Amino acid sequence: MKPITELVKDLADRHGRERRSLLPILQGVVEQEKYLSEFSMLTISRELNIPVTEVYGTATFYSFLECKKMGKYIIRICKTITCSMKGEKQILLAIEDMLKIKVGETTQDGKFTLLETNCLGFCHKAPAMLINNEVYTELTPEKIREILTSYLNDKIIGGEHVN
Amino acid sequence: MSTSHILKRADFIFKNENDWEEVLTKSLARTPNELINELISSELKGRGGAGFPTGLKWKLTSELKSDEKYVICNADEGEPGTFKDREILSRVPFKVLTAIAICGHVIGAKKGYIYLRGEYFFLQQELKKAISEFEFFCKEIKYDFKISIFMGSGAYICGEETALFESMEGKRGEPRNKPPYPTAYGYMGKPTVINNVETLSHTYTIFNYGSKRFYDLGVQFSRGTKLFSVSGDTPKPGIYELELGMSLTDFVEEFGDDDTKAVQVGGAAGFLVPRKKFAETSIGYEGKLVGISLPTGGSMMLFNSSRSMFNVLDNYLNFFAEESCGQCTPCRVGCQQLLKGIKAVKRGEKPAAYLDKLLSLAETMQLTAKCGLGQSVANSFSSIVENFREEMIY
Amino acid sequence: MGKKIKITVNGQPVEVEKGTSILDAANQIGVIIPTLCYHKDLCVAGNCRVCVVEVVGQKRLAPACATPCEDGMDILTNTHKVRNSRKHIIELLLSEHNADCTSCYKNGNCELQLLASEYKIMSQDFIHLVPFRNYTIDDFSPSIIKDDSKCIRCQRCVRTCAELQSVNALTMAHKGEYAMITTFFEKSMNDVICTNCGQCVNHCPTGALVEKNYIEEVWSAISDKDKYVVIQTAPAVRVGLGEELGFDPGSRSTGKMVAALKRLGFDSVMDTDFTADLTIMEEGTELLTRLKKALAENDKTVKFPMTTSCSPGWIKFIEHLYPEFLDHLSSCKSPQQMFGALVKTYYAKARKLDPAKIVSVSVMPCTAKKFEAARPEMHDSGYRDVDYVLTTRELAIMIKQAGIDFKKLEDMHFDRLMGESTGAGVIFGATGGVMEAALRTAYELVTGREVPFENLDITPVRGMEGVREAKIKIENPLKEWSFLDGVELKCAVAHGLTNVKYMMDKVRAGKADYHFIEFMACPGGCLGGGGQPIPTNPEIRQRRAEAIYAEDAGMPFRKSHENPEIIKIYKDFLGHPLSEMSHHLLHTKYTARGM
């Protein structure tokens, strides 16, 4: 894991130092750190010569650019209509039961954060969720236990992939 | 289950794409005007939901003089119930890349982008491989055109064309004032063609087989086929390519059953059609075939009798209140008022007549909101409240 | 000259230049369309949607401020559809707004309140949204109070802070129902790069951003028989105060202002212009001293360009963003602070007063002065040099509270000892004024002759252009200044922090070949300050500027060094410019600050 100053510099070398390079750089920092701290934003502000307030205003617009400390694995459950109809509530309960956290919270060991999100584009296989960048569909409480256990044991089951 | 098969299926989009190199080469050999005329005579309209004539869009952009122009593929698919673009990008990406490159030839752009929503991150790797192969071929045929992926980060509003540009420019995804339109002032303030993934796939079909093949399908004002994303209370969830112009009765025959209470056409920004109006509703663009026609991104969500329309509306309004960019008054505050309003009526804190004030507010939002999001909330709000008023109250 | 097109507004034909907005076109024929997020100083936003109008043939309503006219457009500004929509928009805004008007500082001066009154919003059917959010008031800054419960998200403050001032302390954050205007990580204004210039306050249509007012504290001091309350008045106040009390912009109300202050109960009413003259003596000498060190003694450590230091918004700006150039600043305090230090030493001694019983008040066109007065180093008199700073707006409020009919007042004069000033002192209120005042004195000091400009009006440094330059060649100077013979004195003026930034970037790049630069944080200089009457826009600034130069032209003395009270203070108290006493009371140090 690179220190932030080095990470930001590398990202800027790759994406550029213009205003339009901001989003890919923010994404790059979130990819490694899972969230954007004050220090990260100040570093990006200096590297790109963009006012730090603007960096903050831009980052907070996007749901996937969290500005609060996150766990190692961010679970995002879809709460839009079809997933809601197909059992999102039961899925939430199963997760809350297993990890002992509510929506918006992070487990004590810093491993999981539970969030809700909007339509993931898998409505025909609802309910669906993201864990970091992996998509899991056709969820049931049993499947949830299986998936989360795999994460706990660091032997992660893969999600939906391209054919 | 009916066996009449009134719905006309087609298979253009997902047909194999092995001929992409040929399609690209022969299209690049044609003049921009020829290609534009082909698109115009096909009467292809945008498949993302707004339905603007694609040929006209490419024509307007090609006519402007500018040192830089861009082609952008809008893959920020976020409308609830829509999942077709994901499927296209994972199964037939070369059709999309070819279409982008041909558009570049038509309008005079050297750079194309795919704005890919953050939730589809898992598609990146394969897509990058495809782009690599594609650019290699372009180099071989000496066509100077590059394509990059720009990732979104979780914002439904970035599917709105000007909000998308703002996002790509490193800013908050707040829609711009229109005019000026993207054809004149788009990404980085330059003339830009921005098309939905599916729209681009259809241009591929048209350039491959000619406009007549496309035009002959569908109905007047709604030519060609469309991908429909079907989900909800249906035994056949999935993606289906169908000719435009079908009536909802026929659709429900195929995908629903006697218990289908209502269908949401076009996502949360679309219309809820109750059973009693299925017969008079056809799926297409402006222009009347049978009763009302509905413009659509193709999301079709079916609800059976067990579903509470109040919960459905509540879900949509929550969605809009969260995803609104927040800059304009009617949308930012209006969404909150509609959401809290129906809850208040349901709990008896406000009288049933308050629903009429809310309907009037929804109309104001439609007239005054700065972009399509705020303007479309009234669609589902009015159609649900008007057709299922009792469910809002009791 | 653009191409002309023909449109109709409410049936009336109008000819306008292509590209004119519907708002401006309607204005041409006296049709007023209400606005909220629109402001002449700023780029068009088009987000409040108050200005929507009907365009025949279009399904949706169009925002008048953001829609350019097209040939043949048929515009209707008062149809049922328009009125109904506008009413809804105002109701929506009121629903997300803390509409407790009677306890709001902007009661009577609020643009939202005015709209609600015009459209007779007599009932609020919509659900009140403020209780659902945990708004807190940010009043940690000595200058500005930010109350998010009153924010209507018009983004005028964001655009002002970003475009007009290039400070970027404010931004829109989050989205949807949580969209709000805030600072970096939602910290207090006092903890971020805010320069306290108050331009946001001047542009805010509601009470979301207001100055921290010290009205009650000043009333308390005045009613305290044990205290001797002195007030100093800044030059820009006298050309702005009238606007709050029934006069048109550009009115000069110096005499009435003094009369009102006396009626309010101040024990002594004196003039900041006096210490403006003093600043010229000190700063002029400082400049000449630097020139001597550089040119006659070949001292390479001397810093050029030297910059003015009387604008506290500018001071905080350089402390945050260009801390490595702090030694370019003149070490002179601002006229306000010089006055404060002298009132509790020189004045107290002369009037045989106990300085502990003196309350030193100032009335300024400025919100940053409140921060300046509270700076820890401003205690050279042994006490806090300036106890309270009132803005022009606060003074008007006090005058109204006291039941004074301002228009009927007879002119009165400032009190003696620190109340006499010259035309050079009064022009401090306009951009270019400090530079002009400095040149009038420095040139004469060095050559023994008056500046070679008719009427002493150094027009090259006047005007509203963001950045201006002037060159004066020194020829045949007096013997002790012979090292300046043939030297072309290169000066520059920048106002509004965006122009200041432009110039400082040049300084940083080594491309600012000037000896002396005047920097003002506010557009127009102090006359456009954050504490001046609202509204302030380009036309109003222009009129106030004309008033300032008219004051100058009418003064008996036009050069700082001619001021009899200045001559007296040096003779009786300070000795000479840059003396030890001057250094102790009239000069200061600066603080490098982070981002």
Predicted pLDDT of residue C594: 83
Q: How far apart are CA C144 and CA C148, in angstroms?
A: 13
C180 and C269 housed in the same domain: no
H-helix or E-strand spanning residue B193: strand B192-196
Computed on alpha carbons and rounded to an integer, the radius of gyration of chain C in Å comes to 25
- Its pTM stands at 0.95
Question: Which CATH number covers residue B340?
Answer: 1.20.1440.230
Peptide bond into B274 cis (omega under 30): no
In the three-class reduction of DSSP (H, G, I as helix; E, B as strand; rest coil), residue C437 is classed as helix
- Min Cα–Cα distance to chain A from C185, Å: 7
Q: Model confidence over C251-278: pLDDT tens digits?
A: 999 999 999 999 999 999 999 999 999 9
Here the tokens at position B40 are: 């115009």
Please report where in the chains the tokens 């009435």 appear, as a residue: C256
Predicted pLDDT of residue B293: 64
Here the tokens at position B155 are: 């914002």
Instruction: Tell if the CB–CB gap between A53 and C174 is shorter than 8 Å.
Output: no
C100 and C202 housed in the same domain: yes
Please report where in the chains the tokens 């008048």 appear, as a residue: C64
- Min Cα–Cα distance to chain C from B171, Å: 11
C-alpha separations of C325 from C422, C497, C592 in Å: 32, 16, 10
Predicted pLDDT of residue C122: 87
Please report where in the chains the tokens 């502000």 appear, as a residue: A45
Instruction: Tell if the CB–CB gap between A54 and C170 is shorter than 8 Å.
Output: no
How many domains is chain B built from? 2
Residue C299: pLDDT above 90? Answer: yes
CA angle C568–C572–C577, rounded 5-degree value: 75
- The DSSP output letter for A124 is G
C-alpha separations of C542 from A67, C160, C523, C525, C549 in Å: 45, 19, 11, 11, 11
Q: How far apart are CA C154 and CA C232, in angstroms?
A: 36
Question: Secondary structure of C65-92 in the HEC alphabet?
Answer: CCCECCCCCEEECCCHHHHHHHHHHHHH
Tell me which chains share at least 3 CB pairs under 8 Å with chain A. Answer: B, C
Residue B83: pLDDT above 60? Answer: yes
Predicted pLDDT of residue B297: 85
Within a domain: B6:
no
ipTM: 0.96
B37 and B157 housed in the same domain: yes
Instruction: Tell if the CB–CB gap between B177 and C66 is shorter than 8 Å.
Output: yes
Provide residues of C within 8 Å CB-CB of chain A. 162, 168-175, 183-185, 192-193, 595
Q: Model confidence over C440-472: pLDDT tens digits?
A: 999 999 999 999 999 999 999 999 999 999 999
C113 and C193 housed in the same domain: yes
Within a domain: B268:
no
Last residue of a domain, one of C408, C432, C460: C408
Q: How far apart are CA C107 and CA C114, in angstroms?
A: 10
B366 touches chain C (CB under 8 A): yes
Within a domain: C36:
yes
C-beta of residue B192 within 8 angstroms of C-beta of residue B186 = yes
Give the burial class of C562: count Cβ atoms within 10 A of its Cβ; 0-12 exposed, 13-18 middle, 19 or more buried.
Answer: middle
CA dihedral C43, C44, C45, C50 (to 10 degrees): 140
Predicted pLDDT of residue B2: 36
Q: Model confidence over C5-42: pLDDT tens digits?
A: 999 999 999 999 999 999 999 999 999 999 999 999 99
Question: Which CATH number covers residue C36?
Answer: 3.10.20.740
The whole-angstrom distance between residue C495's C-alpha and the CA centroid of its chain comes to 10
Q: In the CATH scheme, what is the code of domain A73-152?
A: 3.40.30.10
- Residue B245 — pLDDT band, cuts 50, 70, 90? confident
pLDDT-above-90 percentage for chain C: 98
Predicted pLDDT of residue B282: 87
Peptide bond into A127 cis (omega under 30): yes
Q: How far apart are CA A159 and CA C175, in angstroms?
A: 30
Question: Which CATH number covers residue C401?
Answer: 3.40.50.1780
Q: State the best of B111, B119, B229 to mutate against chain A, taking most chain A CBs within 10 Å.
A: B119
C133 and C250 housed in the same domain: no
> Of B292, B294, B342, which is closest to residue B320 (Cα–Cα)?
B342
Q: How far apart are CA C340 and CA C342, in angstroms?
A: 5
Within a domain: B235:
no
Residue C210: pLDDT above 80? Answer: yes
CA angle C16–C17–C22, rounded 5-degree value: 60
C-beta of residue C36 within 8 angstroms of C-beta of residue C112 = yes
Please report where in the chains the tokens 């402006």 appear, as a residue: B286
Question: Which CATH number covers residue B138?
Answer: 3.40.50.11540
In the three-class reduction of DSSP (H, G, I as helix; E, B as strand; rest coil), residue B357 is classed as helix
Here the tokens at position B370 are: 């700065």
Q: How far apart are CA C373 and CA C141, in angstroms?
A: 12
Residues near B276 by Cβ (< 8 Å), separated by ≥ 6? none
Residue C370: pLDDT above 60? Answer: yes
Out of A6-15, B218-227, C575-584, least confident range: B218-227
Q: What is the mean pLDDT of residues C486-505?
A: 96
Within a domain: B185:
yes
C109 and C206 housed in the same domain: yes
H-helix or E-strand spanning residue A28: helix A22-33
Predicted pLDDT of residue B288: 43
Give the burial class of A142: count Cβ atoms within 10 A of its Cβ; 0-12 exposed, 13-18 middle, 19 or more buried.
Answer: exposed
- The DSSP output letter for C332 is B
Within a domain: B343:
yes
Within a domain: C139:
yes
- Residue A72 — pLDDT band, cuts 50, 70, 90? very high
Q: How far apart are CA B72 and CA B193, in angstroms?
A: 6
Count of alpha carbons within 13 Å of B310, Cβ hemisphere only?
15
C207 and C220 housed in the same domain: no
Instruction: Tell if the CB–CB gap between C183 and A42 is shorter than 8 Å.
Output: no
pLDDT-above-70 percentage for chain A: 99
Q: What is the mean pLDDT of residues C409-434?
A: 96
Of residues A38, A51, A57, nearest to C173 (C-beta): A57
Residue C1: pLDDT above 80? Answer: no
Instruction: Tell if the CB–CB gap between C67 and B179 is shorter than 8 Å.
Output: yes
Tell me which chains share at least 3 CB pairs under 8 Å with chain B. Answer: A, C
Instruction: Tell if the CB–CB gap between B368 and C85 is shorter than 8 Å.
Output: yes
B336 and B209 housed in the same domain: no
Predicted pLDDT of residue A162: 59
> Of B62, B79, B63, which is closest to residue B71 (Cα–Cα)?
B62
C99 and C187 housed in the same domain: yes
- Min Cα–Cα distance to chain C from B316, Å: 14
Within a domain: C428:
no
Instruction: Tell if the CB–CB gap between C171 and A56 is shorter than 8 Å.
Output: yes
C206 and C223 housed in the same domain: no
Within a domain: B13:
no
CA angle B91–B96–B101, rounded 5-degree value: 150
Predicted pLDDT of residue C523: 96
Q: Model confidence over C44-58: pLDDT tens digits?
A: 999 999 999 999 999
- Min Cα–Cα distance to chain A from C181, Å: 9
Here the tokens at position C497 are: 């922090």
C160 and C30 housed in the same domain: no
- Residue A1 — pLDDT band, cuts 50, 70, 90? confident
Query: Rounded mean pLDDT of chain C?
Result: 96
B/e letters for B293-315, b = 16+ CB within 10 Å, e = fewer, are bbbbbbbbbbbbeebebbebbbb
Active site residues of C: 283, 286, 310, 330, 369, 372, 377, 526
B174 and B322 housed in the same domain: no
Here the tokens at position B243 are: 């000719």
- Which of chain C's residues have a Cβ under 8 Å away from the Cβ of A60? 173-175
Pair type for strands C209-211 and C144-147: antiparallel
Here the tokens at position B21 are: 């190199």
Within a domain: C541:
no
How many other C-beta atoms lie within 10 A of the C-beta of residue B394? 8
By C-alpha distance, the chain B residue nearest C173 is B172
- Min Cα–Cα distance to chain C from B372, Å: 11
C-beta of residue C112 within 8 angstroms of C-beta of residue C206 = yes
> Of B325, B50, B375, which is closest to residue B163 (Cα–Cα)?
B325
C167 and C148 housed in the same domain: yes
Within a domain: B42:
yes
C-alpha separations of B80 from A81, A83, C577 in Å: 7, 10, 75
Q: What is the mean pLDDT of residues B166-182?
A: 96
B/e letters for C321-347, b = 16+ CB within 10 Å, e = fewer, are bbeebbebbbbbbbbbbbbbbbbbbbb
Residue B291: pLDDT above 80? Answer: no
Predicted pLDDT of residue B290: 43
Last residue of a domain, one of B215, B233, B263: B215
Count of alpha carbons within 13 Å of A122, Cβ hemisphere only?
23
> Of C237, C174, C198, which is closest to residue C426 (Cα–Cα)?
C237
C202 and C238 housed in the same domain: no
Within a domain: B80:
yes
| Structural domain that includes position B385 | 309-393
- Which of chain B's residues have a Cβ under 8 Å away from the Cβ of C44? 177
C101 and C31 housed in the same domain: no
Q: What is the DSSP string of B143-162?
A: ---EEEEEE--S-GGGGSHH
| Structural domain that includes position C133 | 92-211
Instruction: Tell if the CB–CB gap between B82 and A119 is shorter than 8 Å.
Output: yes
- The DSSP output letter for C59 is S
Last residue of a domain, one of B187, B215, B243: B215
> Of B61, B137, B75, which is closest to residue B105 (Cα–Cα)?
B61
Q: Model confidence over B25-41: pLDDT tens digits?
A: 999 999 999 999 999 99
Pair type for strands C137-138 and C144-147: antiparallel
